[in-house]
Amino acid sequence: HHNVGGLPDFMKLKVVEPLKALFKDEVRRVGASMGIDAQLLGRHPFPGPGLAIRIL
């Protein structure tokens, strides 16, 4: 996978990826079942690895 990585060991945090085993179409179905707007679910991903949102 192209987004393989993790956190530095010194951070003592755990990566949580609840949708890791799902394909894009399956993630979109989950989003639709949660009531997320179809326009948002179907958009093309914004490019750029330096623009990732990180939640700690």
d(CA 5, CA 17): 12
Answer whether 0.85 is exceeded by the pTM.
Answer: no
Q: How confident is the model at residue 56 (pLDDT cuts 50, 70, 90)?
A: very low
> Residue 17 to residues 5, 9, 21, 46: CA-CA distances in angstroms?
12, 18, 9, 19
Strands (E), the chain: none
d(CA 19, CA 13): 18
Q: Where are the domains of the chain?
A: 18-42
pLDDT at 5 (0 to 100): 66
